[in-house]
Structure 1
Amino acid sequence: MVNRIGIVGMGYVGLTLAAGLARNGFEVHGVDSEPRVREALSAGRVHLYEPGLAEVLRDTLGRTLFVHPTLPPGLDAAVICVSTPVRDDTRQPDLTNIAAAATQIARHCGPETLVVVRSTVPVGTSRRIVLPALIEAWGRARLVMAPERTIQGQALRELTELPQVVGGLDDDSRRAGEALFGRLARQVVPVSSLETAELVKLANNCHTDLIYAYGNEIALLAGAHGVDPLEVVRAANHDYPRPDLARPGFVGGSCLSKDPYLFAASAPAHTPSLVAAARQRNEQLPTQVAETVVGRLRQLRGATAGATLAVLGWAYKGWPPTDDMRGAAVVTMMPAFDRAGLRVLGHDPLVADEVIRAHGGEPVSLDKAFSEADAVLLLNDHPDYRGLPVGTLLPGTRVRFVYDSWRILDEESVRAAGAHYESLGYRASRELV
């Protein structure tokens, strides 16, 4: 039976899996190449935001959860949870971390160790990159692909509630993977190969990107005709038995902004045009909104140089709450704001002040965000922003324009305070065109 597990990579995927396994009685040994990550975890500090993680770490550290610079000997299973980024210049996958993790496992473990690829990878990566390192060291291997599919903010719950997909190199590997994840999750879905499991993860995430891109396309079309996109979405979905249309909104995070490129890299004969078009639509949206905000400020003030913009919600999403800046809309928008000469104030319930500063913003309280700004841009739907008392915050300020990306502010209160209200594909009035 698999009881002693090593996890390579203590980022979001690895740490949440480590916590889930450790609280279920496994002996978990986490390793990470970053000294700051190891030092924080060894001291009982969680280096990323995820509800429940700090409590699990407090209860398991030094008991069933341990942190090391390299894998210890005698592991029953070793799980690869390293990042798989795409290169900024080419958008091609960078699988250096996967290769390094496979090499470390080959060096410290043996052929009886079950090796699990958990990272999201192009189809064929487990067999093409991980397996050769194991075979060269051991002559044989037990290998499975079991993709991570949790949502940030609900990962510890979803680790047990979501079905765990497991594909194996062979029947023995697959059965071992089923046994391992069967002790963690309520349901395991075995599939016929490593490649099938790899594609399952990409299929899930690219489908989500497609759905959101279509919602954004609808919003832009609605805006061109002076139609409210949310009215369109509500009416289209009302008691209609087909897949629901998505509300428009920014699409970010480490997965949706990257996995379509891993999907494309999995298709050697052609570029998957549908997935590529959806990714392009979602990537263009922040720039389009930034240009709209700059344009509105120019209309209202005559010039943008020296104007102050308050940006609320710097994390890539607000619900479930996160502090993750990967793929955040504001990162794409900041160059446009810089070119316009804007002073950018920043507020987020979870993103640290030093992170806002590192991205070019000036961290402020909500009160100061409204009292010192010429315009307010809301980028995520964190619960703290829902029901924000704009009727109290706006009067008496010089704010004359509010862009509410998620339509969660009280539009009438904004307009009553003398400010223009706008959102994705929606303007409350035609005064600014």
Structure 2
Amino acid sequence: MNNQRKNISIMGLGYVGITLAVAFLLKGHKVTGVEIKESIRSSLKDGQLHIQEPGMETIIKESIDQKRFLIRSKLPDQVDTVFICVGTPFDKASGQPVLCYIEEALKMLNGKISEETLIIVRSTVPIGTTNKVYQLLKEYVDEPKVVFAPERTIQGKALKELLSLPQIIGTANAQHFKEAKEIFELLQVEILRVHSLEAAELIKLACNSHTDLIYSFGNELANIANCFDLDVYEVIEAANHHYPRPDICKPGYVGGSCLTKDPYHLIFAAQQNGYMPRLIHSARQLNEKMPEIILNQIERKLEKAWKDVTVTISGLAYKGVPETDDLRGSAVWDMIHLLKLRGVNSIRGHDFVLNKEKILEIGIEPISFEEGLLHSDVTIILNNHHKYLEVDIKETVSKMNKNFILYDLWGVWKERFESFTSTINYMGVGYNG
């Protein structure tokens, strides 16, 4: 490999970009990170990570001190290898992917690249987007080198997975694949080729849409169990016990930035080519409807009007395990909106990771978890953070109002509640207490 090829530029230092940068830094390589948000650049230069991802801050600090991690607002004058890792939201109102950040990244490449520059698209995109990137780059150079290499990590374990998961590279060009393979081999991972940009794009969307789909079945089963006043956990645990088929997933809210948008990217791309993926669409619609279903379930237990109810929402980050402070795709946004539509005036918030300032930014009053349990009419636990298990719930329940409703979305306390008699209304997805 040409040694210059090891000078890696990464455009976009959000979740995908910064974790990739740290993976290369950990292996001893030099990285230039390009980020347009001044706040992110400043925090990184101070050695502070802007996302919740264990094991990365120390690497960033050491790499900055060693001048191996350069953080800039623009690309260097010439680049050898550049990753495009910018955000790609989906606008549900218009039914369109938001690709303006990729377009801005491409404009930044003008005058900076040559036919020798390898461009690796890593942002999650609708099928066919990377080919459009290739066509647009032909305005800058005659034959751009472009591949698509999807990111498929899970938050909280990103660095470990970047250094262990197989890396897929999509391209029809054997030389482009060879050069991209040499870059990813710096991470010492298995490399897998698919022979088109579109196949690699579909793989990324398929992985997240499949996850969304299998989780939706747990939610569907929970809603059916509610119709018959059955405990869906009992049903699922018995069904899975020593049964040699794929496990049925437990119910819950399916959130996060990827699972809430990637199915829409896939649906959009398929529709552009004349096919409506109804199964994927139905799964996403069901998962999005869960906050409404939860509040309807709670409403049947309420003994007063919503306007007179004080609600505490706990577990605001979109998931608890692995730990994160990410609010993108969290159920809290729909919960707040739906509670306000019902006339609730008093909504408080708690999270084991988010600080009070972040909770205030959401627009709700921050309180401690114990206050939420003892001084609310309803407390809704939205995620499964491990610190819930450190609470002496039996002792706390003894102090609660008997009409109190505790809604445990992930069933973190379900086994404990089954071990003693409780006077409160303890509920969850697929069981009514």
How big is the shift at 1:31? 0.8
- The question of whether the paired residues in 2 share the 8 Å contact of 1:387 and 1:409 is answered with no
CA deviation after TM superposition for structure 1 residue 368, in Å: 1.7
Per the alignment, residue 108 of structure 2 pairs with 104
CA change 1:309–1:231 in 2 (3 A) is same
User: Paired residue for 2:278?
Assistant: 273
Q: How does 1:345-356 map onto structure 2 within 5 Å? A: 345-356=348-359
Q: CA deviation at 1:133?
A: 2.6
Of residues 288, 296, 300, the one that matches 2:301 is 296
Q: CA deviation at 1:370?
A: 1.8
Letter matched to residue 322 of structure 1 = T
TM-score by length of 2: 0.94
- 2:258 is paired with a residue whose SS is helix
The answer on 1:336 being equivalent to 2:341 is no
- Listed one character per residue, the Cα deviations across residues 255-294 of structure 1 (whole Å, up to 9, x for unaligned) are 0000011001111202211100000000001122133334
Deviation at 1:417, TM superposition (A): 4.5
Is residue 425 of structure 1 aligned with residue 430 of structure 2? yes
Shift of 1:33: 1.3
C-alpha RMSD of the superposition: 1.7
Q: CA deviation at 1:397?
A: 3.1
CA distance in 1, matches of 2:215, 2:418: 29
For residues 319 and 350 of structure 1, the distance between their equivalents in structure 2, rounded to whole angstroms, comes to: 11
Q: Secondary structure at the match of 1:256?
A: coil
User: In the TM superposition, what is the alpha-carbon distance from 1:394 to its structure 2 partner?
Assistant: 2.7
Q: Which amino acid aligns with 1:380?
A: N
1:132-171 Cα shifts (integer Å, max 9, x gaps)? 2321111111111000000000000000111100112511
Deviation string, structure 1 residues 339-381 (Cα, Å, up to 9, x no partner): 3224112111112322322223211112222221122111100
Match of 1:404 in 2: 408
Aligned to 1:144: 147
Structure 2 distance, partners of 1:310, 1:344, is 6
Rounded Cα–Cα distance in structure 2 between residues aligned with 1:296 and 1:321: 31
Over 3 Å counting, the alpha-carbon distance change for 1:241 and 1:414 in structure 2 is closer
Residue matched to 1:84: 88
Higher deviation after alignment, 96-105 or 392-401: 392-401
Q: Which runs of 5+ in 1 are unaligned?
A: 429-433
Q: CA deviation at 1:420?
A: 0.8
Pairwise CA distance, 1:86: 0.8
Q: Tell me, yes or no, if the aligned pair for 2:312 and 2:347 is still in contact at 8 Å.
A: yes
Q: Are 1:358 and 2:357 matched, yes or no?
A: no
Among 373, 376, 379, which residue is 2:376 paired with?
Answer: 373
CA distance in 1, matches of 2:23, 2:313: 35
- Alignment-derived partner of residue 258 in structure 1: 261
Give the aligned length.
424
Matches within 5 A, 1:312-331: 312-331=314-333
| Same amino acid, percent of matched pairs | 38
Aligned partner of 1:384 in structure 2 is: 387
Q: Which stretch has the larger CA shift, 338-347 or 275-284?
A: 338-347
Give distance in 2, aligned partners of 1:351 and 1:290.
24
Q: 136-145 or 285-294, which moves further after superposition?
A: 285-294
272, 280, 287: which is aligned to 1:282?
287
Q: CA contact under 8 A between 1:78 and 1:105: conserved in structure 2? A: no
Q: Give the residue type in structure 1 aligned to 2:306.
A: T
In the aligned structure 1, how far is the partner of 2:255 from the partner of 2:400?
32
Could you list the per-position Cα deviations for residues 23-77 of structure 1 after superposition, in whole angstroms to 9, with x for gaps in the alignment? 1122100011111111111121111111112121122124211100001134320
Distance of 1:295 and 1:105 partners within structure 2 = 57
Structure-1 separation of matches of 2:98 and 2:298: 35
* Distance of aligned partners of 1:413 and 1:275 in 2 relative to their CA distance in 1, 3 Å threshold: closer
Cα offset, 1:196, TM superposition: 0.9
Conserved? CA contact 1:390–1:414, under 8 Å: no
Q: Give the deviation of 1:228 after TM superposition.
A: 1.4
Q: 2:251 aligns with which of 233, 248, 251?
A: 248
- Write the distance in 1 (CA, Å) between the matches of 2:54 and 2:405: 35
Preserved CA contact (<8 Å) 1:228 1:426: yes
| One-letter identity of the residue aligned with 2:364 | G
**Would you say 1:21 and 2:6 are equivalent positions?**
no
Distance 1:106 1:211, change over 3 A: same
The secondary structure found in structure 1 opposite 2:294 is helix
Rounded to whole Å, the distance in 1 between the matches of 2:311 and 2:421 is: 20
